[in-house]
């Protein structure tokens, strides 16, 4: 018996709250959480709670969550051990004019985990960390141009929607394509003597495109070019840090940058991030580069990070996620191959993804673009109706608290949704 379409979810409360949210705030919700980044009318907008590897929306619909809050949830929701440590710290206070001792303990721990980390600065968000790293690179080199590859946040130097940002700022950031050393070398030559830093996500993840493991020799080549041109090499490990290994992608792939930025999985959802780097570069932040924030020294997030790192090490979480993700990817590849739907599996075991082939129906007069988008939208409509929470424009994650039953159910939902997609939009 073949797969059948599931009925549309009941989302009345979510939609009513969203209508009210649009009155209260521009767009109702921010950026990538807006409905047009999912499938409008099919996905919830407001969530009520989470547990294990699941989330529950305000209408009571329960989902296996493989978006994991866009990456911070490396363990799971309702992590009692972390929350209890945070509550205990609340009793001592957490927001002061001066720092608390846990800052030293966390920074010391990070220097022992991360290959490039001789010194650490703790901040709050991924955008904070990447922006600080870029400022350090510019301060160290007295140069202005930044070569970038990947998504690095919403601040002026890297924002992908240019409205509200002067061209004089955006022109100083130049993009290059992941995996192509020749292109990077061309950009370095074109801006010779002007490049302050090269910032790259060591595992490529351009929006709505395949997640890419580093090709053999690529990160080594980037390292060599950065050194040759006197540019500071920054690995943006906001997504890969503590997930692909405890020391990040730089540890797993054996290439050490000058600076690394970390966040997301560091505290399992608590807002903290870090810039870690070699002392020679980090020292710029002592006198030459300014950094200050009322909330950067808050200790609750540091306590959460310490406890999260305890669990990651004690339960060997990165190794577990990598092993389970390897099996997940193998099964996913077979499901996709059997489905005959023009799409491909990409990613690395902790960060799988499915990309619909934009060129599948190309040809004279072919509406290929519309077909691939229609396939994608229909597929994600069917997966959300089956209780699998993934997103069309962002890769997925495997969390520690996803059970084997969760992953089996996720693969079943994908298989059924692809089967229905193949019937509705047969490939030519």
> Does 110 reside within a domain?
yes
* pLDDT of amino acid 360: 62
pLDDT for 363 beyond 60: no
> Does 333 reside within a domain?
yes
* pLDDT of amino acid 427: 85
Q: How confident is the model at residue 286 (pLDDT cuts 50, 70, 90)?
A: very high
pLDDT for 109 beyond 80: yes
Q: Which of 89-103, 157-171, 381-395 is predicted least confidently?
A: 157-171
pLDDT for 337 beyond 80: yes
| 271 and 345 housed in the same domain | no
| 411 and 309 housed in the same domain | no
How many Å apart are CA 319 and CA 310, to the nearest integer? 14
> Does 2 reside within a domain?
no
Domain termination residue (choose one: 314, 333, 368): 314
Instruction: Using a pLDDT cut of 90, give the percent of the chain over it.
Output: 88
The better pLDDT of the pair 287, 348 is held by 348
* pLDDT of amino acid 9: 97
> What CATH number is given to the structural domain containing 56?
3.90.1150.10
| 236 and 362 housed in the same domain | no
* pLDDT of amino acid 66: 98
Dump pLDDT digits (tens) for 53-66. 999 999 999 999 99
The better pLDDT of the pair 344, 369 is held by 344
The mean pLDDT value for 236-259 works out to: 97
Q: How confident is the model at residue 167 (pLDDT cuts 50, 70, 90)?
A: very high
> Does 98 reside within a domain?
yes
Q: How many distinct structural domains can be found in the chain? A: 2
* pLDDT of amino acid 44: 96
> Does 175 reside within a domain?
yes
Tokens at 398, concatenated? 């495997």
| 273 and 302 housed in the same domain | yes
> What CATH number is given to the structural domain containing 257?
3.40.640.10
The mean pLDDT value for 326-336 works out to: 98
Q: How confident is the model at residue 328 (pLDDT cuts 50, 70, 90)?
A: very high
pLDDT for 93 beyond 60: yes
| 59 and 167 housed in the same domain | no
| 134 and 217 housed in the same domain | yes
pLDDT for 398 beyond 90: yes
The mean pLDDT value for 253-258 works out to: 98
Arithmetic mean of pLDDT over the chain: 94
Query: Is this structure's pTM higher than 0.75?
Result: yes
* pLDDT of amino acid 152: 92
* pLDDT of amino acid 369: 66
| 48 and 106 housed in the same domain | no
> Does 310 reside within a domain?
yes
Residues 6+ apart with CB under 8 A from 244: 203, 252, 318, 322, 348, 350
The better pLDDT of the pair 212, 353 is held by 353
| 197 and 226 housed in the same domain | yes
Domain termination residue (choose one: 314, 339, 355): 314
Dump pLDDT digits (tens) for 110-123. 999 999 999 999 99
| 190 and 237 housed in the same domain | yes
* pLDDT of amino acid 358: 82
The mean pLDDT value for 124-131 works out to: 97
The mean pLDDT value for 396-405 works out to: 98
> Does 1 reside within a domain?
no
| 120 and 175 housed in the same domain | yes
| 206 and 220 housed in the same domain | yes
> Does 6 reside within a domain?
no
pLDDT for 364 beyond 70: no
Dump pLDDT digits (tens) for 301-317. 999 999 999 999 999 99
Dump pLDDT digits (tens) for 8-47. 999 999 999 999 999 999 998 988 888 888 999 999 999 9
| 112 and 18 housed in the same domain | no
* pLDDT of amino acid 205: 77
* pLDDT of amino acid 1: 52
Residue 382 belongs to domain spanning = 12-77+317-424
Domain termination residue (choose one: 275, 293, 314): 314
């Amino acid at each position: 018996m073949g797969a059948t379409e599931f009925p549309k979810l009941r989302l009345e409360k979510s939609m009513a709250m969203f209508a009210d949210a649009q009155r209260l705030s521009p767009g109702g919700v921010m950026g990538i959480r807006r409905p047009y980044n999912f499938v409008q009318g099919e996905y919830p907008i407001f969530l009520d709670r989470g547990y294990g590897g699941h989330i529950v929306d305000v209408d009571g619909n329960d989902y296996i969550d493989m978006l994991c809050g866009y990456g911070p949830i490396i363990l799971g929701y309702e992590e009692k051990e972390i929350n209890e440590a945070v509550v205990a710290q609340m009793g001592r206070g957490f927001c002061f004019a001066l720092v608390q001792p846990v800052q030293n303990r966390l920074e010391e721990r990070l220097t022992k985990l991360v290959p490039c980390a001789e010194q650490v600065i703790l901040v709050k968000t991924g955008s904070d960390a990447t922006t600080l790293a870029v400022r350090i690179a510019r301060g160290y080199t007295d140069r202005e141009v930044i070569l970038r590859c990947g998504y690095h946040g919403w601040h002026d130097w890297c924002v992908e929607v240019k409205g509200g940002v002067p061209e004089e700022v955006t022109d100083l950031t130049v993009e290059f394509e992941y995996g192509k050393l020749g292109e990077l070398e061309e950009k370095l030559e074109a801006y010779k003597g002007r490049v302050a830093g090269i910032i790259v996500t060591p595992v490529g993840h351009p929006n709505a495109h395949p997640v890419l493991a580093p090709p053999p020799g690529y990160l080594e080549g980037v390292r060599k070019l950065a050194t040759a041109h006197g540019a500071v090499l920054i690995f943006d490990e906001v997504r890969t840090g503590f997930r692909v290994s405890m020391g990040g992608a730089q540890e797993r792939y054996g290439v050490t940058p000058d600076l690394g930025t970390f966040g997301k999985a560091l505290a399992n959802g608590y807002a903290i991030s870090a810039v870690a780097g070699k002392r020679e570069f980090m020292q710029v932040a002592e006198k030459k580069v300014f950094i200050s924030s009322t909330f950067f020294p808050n200790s609750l997030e540091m306590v959460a990070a310490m406890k999260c790192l305890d669990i990651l090490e004690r339960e060997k979480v990165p190794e577990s996620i990598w092993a389970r993700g390897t099996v997940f990817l193998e099964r996913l590849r077979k499901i996709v191959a059997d489905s005959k739907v023009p799409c491909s599996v990409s990613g690395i075991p902790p960060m799988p993804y499915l990309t619909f082939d934009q060129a599948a129906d190309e040809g004279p007069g072919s509406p290929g673009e519309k077909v691939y988008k229609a396939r994608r939208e229909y597929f994600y409509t069917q997966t959300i109706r089956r209780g699998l929470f993934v997103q069309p424009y962002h890769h997925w994650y495997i969390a520690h608290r996803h059970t084997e039953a969760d992953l089996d159910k996720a693969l079943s939902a994908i298989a059924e949704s692809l089967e229905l997609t193949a019937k509705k939009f047969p490939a030519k």
